[in-house]
Structure 1
Amino acid sequence: MLTKTARATANGCALFVFASPVLAAQETYPNKPVRIIVPVTPGGGGDITSRAVAQKLNEAWRQQIIVDNRPGAGGIVGLDILARSAPDGYTFALGGIGPLAVNQSLHSKLPYDPLKDFSPITRAVSALNVLVVHPSVPVNSVKDLIAYAKANPVNFGSSGAGRADHLAGELFNLMAGVRMQHVPYKGGAPAMVDLVAGNLQLIFATVSTAATHMKSGRIRTIAVTAAKRVSLFPDLPTVAESGVPGFAVDNWYSFVAPAGVPRPILAKLHGEINRVLGLSDVKDRLQPLGIVPFPSESPEDFRRYIASEIEKYAKLVKAAGLKAD
């Protein structure tokens, strides 16, 4: 019969043997391709941000970083895939205001819990939104748009239910006293295609989606959705100063992993993604598109931020009477 000392030694050895492969896997991470699920179509701000991060992680890690676009249902399709993925760090996803902060209030049934089913990595960037209209719409200011929308049917497109551009339109409806009709898409890029084609009247679009058409004159820019004027467009007024006092919608993109990712791997992802977003060439690529670094100090700090955003937007969803199903 084994003595207590012998049993303790045997158990310790067994535990070490069991734990060693896990520890080794964490120390050598990543040693195979990594997938980033992007829950929007290619071409929009979230996709551009994800690809900028993927390129630099590939260079640093010498591993293939696969950008996997999985659009649908305002980000729910992609985030549901993430929630059911192995928590080993080899699959993580682009998150954002809609999938992580708004959908819980917007949908009666959500296939994931944004606080329980994910390991927050970092709040990555803030993305500027602008109010843009098709040139056929006879408005040149926010006040013009309010008057026009009160007298005519108006539809506005978005990158999906619960996204920042959707929230901006609904907040505008609520605060300006108009009833514009929401038309959701599977990303900002296809919505912009329909705006340019004249199938939509307006979008509260990300600059990254709208920039090319803003420069060409194929759409007209009316205002920014930020609380204050921005240095990128110093002559462009805010919606708030142009006729809707108090209006402001802030848009952010982030990265999250499945719940249960080991802390060392989560810490590595957090540190590496924040490092990438601070690189001068990455900032030079993103800032002209209205996308600026907005990283969290730690995964725990980002978790608290998500909780506060859920609470904030629950109030807006309730006040506006919004439901996606």
Structure 2
Amino acid sequence: MPFLCGTALAQGYPTHPITIVIGSSPGSATDGLARAVGMEVTRMTGQAVVVDNRAGAFGGIAAQTVARAAPDGYTLFMTTNTTQAANPHLLKKLPYDPIKDFAPVSLLTKGYQLLVVNPQVKANSVGELVALAKKEPGKMSYGSGSSSAQVAAELFQQVTGSKFTYVPYKANPQAVIDLVAGQTDMMIVDLAASLPQVKAGKLRALGISSPKRSALVPGVPAIAETLPGYEAGYWNALYAPANTPAPVVQQLSDLMRRAMASPAVRQVVDQTGMEVALSTPDELARFQLAELGRWGQIIKTAGIKPE
């Protein structure tokens, strides 16, 4: 009977507005992707899609909101490896279970980050930044509003033997604002939050965290050119609350596949330095389990202690 009810629900789905909850503020890569996808879903279904920004606690506030929502397909969670793979290794207490509380819908994108500094920092390359940081360990600082940004910077320190003081933020866009203002010195952060400031001359890009250079910033070397093997990326995916009927989850997965293929969404993906990486619900479930282990190893290697 539950399956039949779920099938009937899916056949008429959606019949009213959908809310996509995200754990970051406006201006982040996830925010831009959620709004672009939402517009496409509206175009395809005729139903409005509302993006609900709930920054804070490394996405934990947003995750908890969706975990407690009705499992009917009308409250969704667009998130990253921060909440679904890294937080269990970074935080001693989580207000949600990244596996049990959610129904995987689809992997959406994968992306990389820019190493950026305030223009007042007297470094024009990764090597110069490392040398500068080593002169006075801990004097320079880095900001972070996500686990992807934090782990990338901590891994950078471990690989180079440098020491920066960590300054936490609720979301990356706020951290970028303070970096521009000179309140911090360095970040390794998604292109959506950092590239506009680089193009405006308000930040200097020293490297990108991908294995090779990106066409979006062709003049910026890969960090790996100076630090062989260095790589730090992130991914976006869509989830529904646990116990959402399988037919509704499949309907959502199909909507995501169609939305991500649209020129408008592809443009947003390209502009933010990401690449489309779609999956089935089962494939996302397996991918997330593998990522839990991988991020746990990265965080352990970086020497980050759970807080």
TM bracket, shorter-chain basis = over 0.9
Matched residues in 1 for 2:248 and 2:3: separation? 15
The one of 284, 297, 300 equivalent to 1:315 is: 297
- Alpha-carbon offset, residue 158 of structure 1: 1.4
* Contact residue 211 and residue 231 of structure 2 kept, 8 A: yes
Matched residues in 1 for 2:299 and 2:258: separation? 35
- Alpha-carbon offset, residue 235 of structure 1: 2.7
The 5-angstrom pairing of residues 206-225 of structure 1 reads 206-225=190-209
- The one-letter code sitting in structure 1 at the alignment partner of 2:255 is E
- The one-letter code sitting in structure 2 at the alignment partner of 1:159 is G
The one of 165, 176, 187 equivalent to 2:149 is: 165
- Alpha-carbon offset, residue 189 of structure 1: 1.1
Q: Which residue in the other structure is 2:211 paired with?
A: 227
- Alpha-carbon offset, residue 276 of structure 1: 0.9
- Alpha-carbon offset, residue 33 of structure 1: 1.2
The one of 239, 247, 264 equivalent to 2:223 is: 239
Deviation per CA, 1:261-297: give whole Å up to 9, x if none.
111111111111121111122212331221221112x
Q: Which residue in the other structure is 1:28 paired with?
A: 12
The one of 184, 187, 193 equivalent to 1:203 is: 187
Query: Are 1:145 and 2:108 counterparts?
Result: no
* Contact residue 208 and residue 291 of structure 1 kept, 8 A: no
- The one-letter code sitting in structure 2 at the alignment partner of 1:269 is L
* Contact residue 6 and residue 248 of structure 2 kept, 8 A: no
- The one-letter code sitting in structure 2 at the alignment partner of 1:288 is Q
Q: Which residue in the other structure is 2:119 paired with?
A: 135
Taking structure 2 as the reference length, what is the TM-score of the superposition?
0.95
- The one-letter code sitting in structure 1 at the alignment partner of 2:120 is S
- The one-letter code sitting in structure 2 at the alignment partner of 1:230 is S
Task: Give unpaired runs (5+ residues) of structure 1.
Answer: 1-14
The one of 74, 79, 87 equivalent to 2:63 is: 79
Please list every run of at least 4 consecutive aligned residues from structure 1 whose deviation after the TM superposition is greater than 3 angstroms: 18-23
Matched residues in 2 for 1:300 and 1:319: separation? 29
Q: Which has the larger radius of gyration?
A: 1
* Contact residue 36 and residue 91 of structure 1 kept, 8 A: yes
- Alpha-carbon offset, residue 218 of structure 1: 1.0
Q: Mark the CA change 1:28 to 1:199 in structure 2 (over 3 Å): closer, same or farther.
A: same
SS of 1:94 mapped into structure 2: strand
Comparing 109-118 with 131-140, greater Cα deviation is found at 109-118
Matched residues in 1 for 2:303 and 2:205: separation? 28
Q: Which residue in the other structure is 2:73 paired with?
A: 89
Q: Which residue in the other structure is 1:154 paired with?
A: 140
The one of 283, 287, 293 equivalent to 2:266 is: 283
Root mean square deviation, CA, Å = 1.5
Q: Which residue in the other structure is 1:270 paired with?
A: 253
- The one-letter code sitting in structure 1 at the alignment partner of 2:298 is L
Q: Which residue in the other structure is 1:295 paired with?
A: 278
* Contact residue 146 and residue 176 of structure 1 kept, 8 A: yes
Q: Mark the CA change 1:300 to 1:23 in structure 2 (over 3 Å): closer, same or farther.
A: closer
- The one-letter code sitting in structure 2 at the alignment partner of 1:146 is V
- Alpha-carbon offset, residue 159 of structure 1: 1.9
Deviation per CA, 1:81-124: give whole Å up to 9, x if none.
11111111111111111100101111122122211111111111
SS of 1:132 mapped into structure 2: strand
Deviation per CA, 1:215-243: give whole Å up to 9, x if none.
1111101000011222222332111112x
Comparing 272-281 with 302-311, greater Cα deviation is found at 272-281
- Alpha-carbon offset, residue 20 of structure 1: 6.2
Matched residues in 1 for 2:102 and 2:285: separation? 9
SS of 2:223 mapped into structure 1: coil
- The one-letter code sitting in structure 1 at the alignment partner of 2:250 is A
Q: Which residue in the other structure is 1:260 paired with?
A: 243
Matched residues in 2 for 1:201 and 1:237: separation? 19
Matched residues in 1 for 2:3 and 2:255: separation? 25
- The one-letter code sitting in structure 1 at the alignment partner of 2:190 is T
Taking structure 1 as the reference length, what is the TM-score of the superposition?
0.90
Query: Are 1:64 and 2:60 counterparts?
Result: no
* Contact residue 33 and residue 64 of structure 1 kept, 8 A: yes
Query: Are 1:45 and 2:29 counterparts?
Result: yes
Query: Are 1:125 and 2:109 counterparts?
Result: yes
